Amino acid sequence: MRERYNLPLIVAAINLLFIIFLNFLPKFPLSFPANPFYWNILGLIFIALGLNVMLIAQKVNESYFSKPKKVKKLITHGVYSNIRHPGYAGFILINLGVFFIFKDFFALVITSAFILFWYFLARFEEKILIRKYEKQYLEYMKKTPMFFPNSIKKLIMIIVAIFIIILLLFP
């Protein structure tokens, strides 16, 4: 039986609690143009993308919740051929989606804090994987982006551009 890696799960639970907690904090809205409905739609799109990326990563990687030291082989196929940390990328997308839905100062602070945390956790795990797999992991790092593949970066830019056009046409 494989040992579970609880740190990301614990942080995900804390992340979820903070998202729920946002409902009870006083509102300090940030100035966002246009109809809030559009921002909510954008937020839901980001949340759905994040959940999908995480589910796909879990299907491809049987050691998804294992400690980096316990991983038996380096996974470089499926979604891992495009992103080194798809689970954390999913959490980042979800956090961005939550920010677009709440659109206030506390959501900005919480989103920023958790995005930084996911980044530093990924870096910490990479140090372990570099020690374990050496050249193989370094080569993988050279050819595979950390969180978002170039095609997704382009897709996100297109979605944002379309969203801005909608905001300008239908204020």
Domain ranges for the chain = 35-169
- Domain 35-169 sits in CATH at 1.20.120.1630
Predicted confidence at residue 62, as pLDDT, reads 66
Report CA-CA distances (Å) from 121 to 27, 71, 85, 87, 117. Answer: 30, 16, 10, 11, 6
CA distance 158 to 94: 19
pTM of the model: 0.72
CB 146 within 8 Å of CB 85: yes
65-121 pLDDT per residue, tens:
566 666 677 778 888 888 888 888 888 888 888 888 887 777 788 888 888 888 888
112-151 pLDDT per residue, tens:
888 888 888 889 888 888 888 889 889 988 888 888 777 6
* Cα Rg, the chain, nearest whole Å: 18
Provide the β-strand partners of residue 29.
104
